């Protein structure tokens, strides 16, 4: 009899359809049955000895909530027996509904992975507890997870014990994961947490990777990548990371129509064992990144979300260094400017913040100039070493890309039919803040903000707290200008100011978007397992 190994995860949901992702213990038919008669079935597909299905649910009624159950070969496997949680539901939207989006990044696996929680309470656990206590209350319409859903390079004690039982940890990559099978352990550890498992079964989710989903500083520079390729373990790690990301995260980002038109998804489903098919795809993504698009668009009524790949889509050559390759940049521009007047709010999900504390921005721009050779070979070597040690690889470290995004945001936010807001949603930096840009020619019609929220569940060292507080200060701006002069760097095309934060803790932001109005709430997880509101503000509208 087939058993449910992981999931269900409710991924996509619109007014009439949804997708539900599961992993089963053996080949079988997965079925979702809703209380209102809607449902769907899908056969499992196999990758590296694991069996997955993404079930498209059809027949849903707009503006309703339908409890659902999961069956494998006709046997009910969800809800779990004696579950303490309310039934998992699929809630559908109608045109004009208010949209609530909760977002954050950087979630290190929660207990019981280690039996204790060394990094404080988990914001996703706290959100799950609140929703379970009041099933009819306010809940997010979608959960945006902006990178570092798993940590391939920072494993827990429980994972390290499993690794040690499988191979010699004195050989690289040591206590980091090495292949697809070990990646699956990370997802089990993270998504089998009872509260999070139920939360992901009942709140739709959108995901994008960041560096720790593969390795810290992934694609930070051409020199970094060349060094990694000299090791005998990197190729397997990268291919396994991309394969497991496609299966566990990317597939669920796509709508039913996109899935039906996806040749890779068709090939995976048609072959008895899709391991080689998916491995060949990952190898192509490695050797020809521009041929693969991990970015995607989701529309929630008049709210447009563009989730942007800021890791695999990079151009790393120092002479043409860019955060997005030309095809990716063209896609982002096309989607941001498409159909003027069709959206009230434009959201760009970038795992890495566009606007940073001024000192950090100036240091990254200066370092990019050094690595480019502006001050000679010795400074270039110093710059590369500093870039890796200090993680200087955000948008500011790609100055031309930073400027191009500034221009695009101004254009998208201006003119007839401009949205009310243009927000860049980010994580990565283990604190939260709001920053507002200003353009020399004057502000666009839309309100443009950088909204950064991190971590969901991770450590926040004192050095980060002190460094980012100082980074926003007037003294830091003076120091940053010295870096800029030394690197002979041009002035950035925008200035910006911090209008909220910095806030520290395990936290989530929620945007509530209705009509032309936008409201932001920041909540922090407490030791008692609850969420407390740290800041709530009206960003635009009545």
What is the structure's pLDDT at 119?
86
Please, what's the largest Cα pairwise distance for the chain?
Answer: 69
Mean pLDDT for 328-345 is 97
State which residues form the domain around 21: 1-94
- Say which residues have a Cβ less than 8 Å from residue 473's Cβ, sequence separation at least 6: 359
Strand partners, 107: 457
Give the per-residue pLDDT at 118.
72
Which residue has tokens 């509208």?
Answer: 541
Q: Is the pLDDT of residue 115 over 60?
A: no
Of the candidates 34, 9, 11, 32, the one whose C-alpha atom is nearest the C-alpha of residue 22 is: 9
d(CA 214, CA 235): 11
Same domain, 81 and 123: no
Tell whether 80 and 193 lie within a shared domain: no
| Predicted pLDDT at 111 | 63
Q: Using DSSP, how many helices (H) and how many strands (E) does the chain show?
A: 16, 22
Q: Is 332 helix (H, G, I), strand (E, B) or coil?
A: helix
Task: State whether 417 and 280 are in the same domain.
Answer: yes
The residue from 78, 94, 110 where one domain ends is 94
| Average pLDDT across the chain, whole number | 96
Residues 158 and 290 in one domain: yes
The end-to-end CA distance of the chain, in Å, is: 56
Residues 435 and 311 in one domain: yes
Give the percent of the chain with pLDDT over 90: 93
Of the candidates 251, 252, 235, 243, the residue with the CA atom closest to the CA atom of residue 278: 243
Q: For the residues 3-15, what does the mean pLDDT come to?
A: 97
Alpha-carbon distance of 294 to 285, in angstroms, equals 10
Residues 10 and 142 in one domain: no
Are 404 and 414 members of one domain?
yes
Q: Which pLDDT does position 463 carry in this prediction?
A: 80
Q: What is the pLDDT of residue 460?
A: 82
What's the total number of domains in the chain?
2
Judged by DSSP in three states, 315 sits in: strand
Tell whether the model's pLDDT for residue 508 goes beyond 90: yes
Residue 32 has pLDDT above 80, yes or no: yes
User: Helix axis angle, 263-270 relative to 275-287, nearest 10°?
Assistant: 150
13 with 110, same domain? no
Choose one of 77, 94, 111: the last residue of a domain. 94
| Domain containing residue 31: CATH number | 2.60.40.380
Whether residues 132 and 194 share a domain: the answer is yes
Average pLDDT, integer, range 455-480:
89
Residues 71 and 108 in one domain: no
Tell me the pLDDT band of 116, cut-offs 50, 70 and 90.
Answer: low
- Please determine, for residue 114, whether its predicted confidence score (pLDDT) is greater than 80: no
Among residues 94, 116, 151, the one where a domain terminates is: 94
Question: Are 107 and 82 found together in one domain?
Answer: no
């Amino acid at each position: 009899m087939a058993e449910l190994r992981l999931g269900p995860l409710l991924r996509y949901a619109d007014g009439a359809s949804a997708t539900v992702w599961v992993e089963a213990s053996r080949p079988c038919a997965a079925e979702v049955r809703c209380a209102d008669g809607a449902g769907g079935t899908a056969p499992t597909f196999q990758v590296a000895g694991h069996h997955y299905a993404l079930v498209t649910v059809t027949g849903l009624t707009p503006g309703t909530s339908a409890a659902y159950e999961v069956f494998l070969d006709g046997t009910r496997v969800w809800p779990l027996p004696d579950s303490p949680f309310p039934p998992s539901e699929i809630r559908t939207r109608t045109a004009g509904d208010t949209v609530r989006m909760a977002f954050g990044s950087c979630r290190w696996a929660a207990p019981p992975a280690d039996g204790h929680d060394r990094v404080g309470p988990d914001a996703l656990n706290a959100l799950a507890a609140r929703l379970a206590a009041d099933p009819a209350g306010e809940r997010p319409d979608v959960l945006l997870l902006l990178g570092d859903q798993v940590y391939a390079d920072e494993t827990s004690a429980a994972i390290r014990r499993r690794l040690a039982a499988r191979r010699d940890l004195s050989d690289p990559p040591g206590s980091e994961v090495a292949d697809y099978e070990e990646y699956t352990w990370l997802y089990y550890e993270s998504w089998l947490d009872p509260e999070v498992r139920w939360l992901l079964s009942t709140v739709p989710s959108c995901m994008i990777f960041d560096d720790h989903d593969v390795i810290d500083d992934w694609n930070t520079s051409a020199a970094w990548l060349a060094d990694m390729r000299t090791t005998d373990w990197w190729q397997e790690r990268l291919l396994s990371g991309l394969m497991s990301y496609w299966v566990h995260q990317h597939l669920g980002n796509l709508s039913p129509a996109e899935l039906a038109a996806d040749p890779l998804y068709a090939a995976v489903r048609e072959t008895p064992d899709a391991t080689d098919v998916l491995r060949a795809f990952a190898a192509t993504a490695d050797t020809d990144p521009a041929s693969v698009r991990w970015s995607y668009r989701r529309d929630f009524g008049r709210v447009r979300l563009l989730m942007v790949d800021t890791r695999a889509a990079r151009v790393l050559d120092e002479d043409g260094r860019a955060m997005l390759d030309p095809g990716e940049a063209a896609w982002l521009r096309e989607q941001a400017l498409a159909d003027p007047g069709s959206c009230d709010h434009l959201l760009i999900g970038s795992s890495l913040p566009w606007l940073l504390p001024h000192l950090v921005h100036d240091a990254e721009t200066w370092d990019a100039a050094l690595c480019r050779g502006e001050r000679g070979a010795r400074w270039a070597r110093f710059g590369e070493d500093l870039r890796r040690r200090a993680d200087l690889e955000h948008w500011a470290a790609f100055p031309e890309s930073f400027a191009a995004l500034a221009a695009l945001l101004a254009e998208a936010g201006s003119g007839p039919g401009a949205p009310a807001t243009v927000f860049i949603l980010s994580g990565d930096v283990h604190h939260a803040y709001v920053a507002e840009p200003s353009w020399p020619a004057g502000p666009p019609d839309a309100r443009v903000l950088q909204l950064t929220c991190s971590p969901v569940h991770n450590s926040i060292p004192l050095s980060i707290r002190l460094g980012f507080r100082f980074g926003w200060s007037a003294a830091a701006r003076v120091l940053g200008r010295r870096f800029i002069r030394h690197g002979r760097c041009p002035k950035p095309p925008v200035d910006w100011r911090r209008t909220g934060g910095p806030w520290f803790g395990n936290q989530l932001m929620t945007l509530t978007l209705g009509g032309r109005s936008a409201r932001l709430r920041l909540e922090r997880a407490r030791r008692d397992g609850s969420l407390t509101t740290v800041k709530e503000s009206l960003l635009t509208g009545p």
